[in-house]
Amino acid sequence: EVEGGQRRGMITRRIVRSMSAKGMSNEGGKAKALPARVPHEVKFGVVEGENRGSVKGSLFDPPITRTDPYFWLRDDERKSEKVIDYLKQENDYCKEATSHLESFSGEIYKEMKSHLKETDDEVPWQQGTLGWRYFTRTLEGKSYKLHCRTKLESNAEEDLQGENIDVILDENDVAKDLAHCDVGCVVPSPSENLVAYAVDSTGYETYKVCFRDLDGKQNTEETIEETTGDIAWGLDDSLIFYSKMDKAHRPHQLWVRVRKEGTGEARDQLLLEEDDERFWLGLWKSRSGKILFSGLRSKETTEVHMIDLQAVHDRIKAGQDVEIKDFLKMVSPREQGVIYKVDHLDKFGHLVFLTNAWDKKEFTLCAAPVDKPDRANWFEMESFKYDPGKYLLGAYCFKDFVVLSGREGGLTRLWILHFAEDGGTLDVAKCQRVEFEEEAYEVNFSARNKVFDSDSFRVIYSSMVTPDSTVMVNSSSGETEVIKVDEVPGYDPSKYATIRLEAEARDGTKIPMSVVFKKDKDFVDGEDIKT
């Protein structure tokens, strides 16, 4: 320990000397502004009129009091002149205290920027039924992305130009007159004549949903104010779902706007409200597109509700007045400590779950009929039994197969499952793990998988040697095809290699280690490192 401390001290002194040699010292700078100490009593425990938690036995009763001299710095409204003035003093001090680093930070910035391809296109993905393929584009010198679409099948950069491209939204135009701009969801409508997008113009993560006419290339007058930024269309343009937050900025309400196409009329309905402050609300559509899910989740408990979008669509098309709330159905009520994730396996009329129910340490795969989704009807797969060595994270249903994502043996993994019914009981007929050549890597299911009836799916692959890569995986064979490797200017991946080692701990546990090295005459394939 002494030797290690001495070594760390020597390294620190060398860094300081190096910075001084580069002109990075800051002797004689201005003194740091210190905040005023203003005594303020803060109570911990049960306080009348305040929600301090539902487990009363774990709270101080009567409450205890502590003095916080810096409580005045809390400014939830961000309007206190005293707090703002103090922050300005902090910023001024920081600017002067680090002024000697400006040239050095400039060098670092130039170095990092030199390895970025500023003008670049994402690999297009298919969405909808009209043949459009969507993608995002970045341009050199522009701060924000362009959202584009094309009907070409080619992914070549030279083809994704000019008249072949339809720009549906330029975030640079959105940001033009805003002090702050964050564009969240950008979601084409089912007709693909509109796009709904969410924009935060304050930095407070409160989003306004805007609607853009893709034929006229201009925004409509319709907006939805003060949302979380999460939005999802129904089966057609007549429904759009969104969520709102409470005063504590907690997503707690699910809403739907019923739009009468061609009339400009719209009616908003509150569908679900969560009062328990431990739970946050989210919304998403099943990959089949037929179910809208709304999940309520705390740190350790889940409750999901669902809406049959096909049934709602049929009622609206029949010209009937619809109360969407009447179609809201609970999947399974919350149970303390039980978490579950759900998607729709439409072909077999089931919901597929990942859950830690039955006191499981990790998630297990199970299913239930879509018309009987309660936990009492959940059943595990006989041919894909619970394995604590697999940490399952996601289940993504396609028409003819399901992709599971997770971890096994310290690596991110993907499994392809094909299902069958034997005597009326659903089970896994075939399971295949997707394999990659490198020993150490990361792979994730892509959010760009928008086609339900597909025989392949997209993943994003990378390693300590390989930049982010868009890869297609065949669902039948598990074979992979690299569509694009992100270009990193000035970097040659052939000069480097990565391997995976395991070190044995005292208790016999194998500890995985990922190693990256530059190839030379001594280190070519890593075998000498392993031995």
With a cut of 80, say whether residue 512 has pLDDT above it: yes
Give the helix ranges, DSSP H, for 300-441.
309-317
Q: How confident is the model at residue 3 (pLDDT cuts 50, 70, 90)?
A: very low
- Nearest in space to 232 (alpha carbons), one of 265, 275, 281: 281
Q: Which of 28-32, 91-95, 458-462 has the lowest mean pLDDT?
A: 28-32
Q: CA 404 to CA 391: how far, in whole Å? A: 10
Radius of gyration of the chain (CA): 28
pLDDT given for residue 2 in this prediction: 38
Beta-strand ranges (E) seen in 107-230 are: 120-121, 125-126, 133-138, 146-150, 166-170, 182-188, 194-200, 207-213, 218-227
Average pLDDT for residues 418-425, to the nearest whole number?
Answer: 91
List, for residues 137-165, the tens digit of each pLDDT value. Answer: 999 999 999 999 999 999 988 889 888 89
- Report the DSSP pairing between strands 133-138 and 251-260: unpaired
With a cut of 80, say whether residue 58 has pLDDT above it: no
Q: CA 53 to CA 468: how far, in whole Å? A: 43
Q: CA 92 to CA 97: how far, in whole Å? A: 9
Average pLDDT for residues 6-13, to the nearest whole number?
Answer: 46
Give the domain ranges of the chain: 116-400, 496-530
pLDDT given for residue 24 in this prediction: 44
- How far is Cα of residue 29 from the mean position of the Cα atoms in its chain? 43
Average pLDDT for residues 448-457, to the nearest whole number?
Answer: 97
Q: Which residue has the tokens 């989210």?
A: 282
Q: Both tokens of residue 512? A: 């995985």
Rounded to a whole number of angstroms, the distance between the first and last alpha carbons of the chain is 29
Give the helix ranges, DSSP H, for 299-409.
309-317
- Nearest in space to 332 (alpha carbons), one of 278, 284, 368: 368
| pLDDT > 70 in the chain, percent | 92
Q: How confident is the model at residue 527 (pLDDT cuts 50, 70, 90)?
A: low
Average pLDDT for residues 246-267, to the nearest whole number?
Answer: 90
- Nearest in space to 234 (alpha carbons), one of 170, 291, 157: 291
With a cut of 90, say whether residue 429 has pLDDT above it: yes
With a cut of 60, say whether residue 313 has pLDDT above it: yes
Looking at the DSSP bridge assignments, the partners of residue 332 are: 304
Helix H or strand E segment including 190: none
pLDDT given for residue 348 in this prediction: 97
Q: CA 456 to CA 357: how far, in whole Å? A: 31
Determine whether 116 is exposed, middle or buried from the number of CB atoms within 10 Å of its CB (0-12, 13-18, 19+). Answer: middle
Task: Give backbone dihedrals phi and psi of 90, rounded to 5 degrees, phi first.
Answer: -60, -45
Tell me, which fold does domain 116-400 have in CATH? Methylamine Dehydrogenase; Chain H (2.130.10)
With a cut of 70, say whether residue 55 has pLDDT above it: no
One-letter amino acid identity for 219? N
Q: Both tokens of residue 32? A: 């740091």
Beta-strand ranges (E) seen in 398-441 are: 402-408, 411-422, 425-433
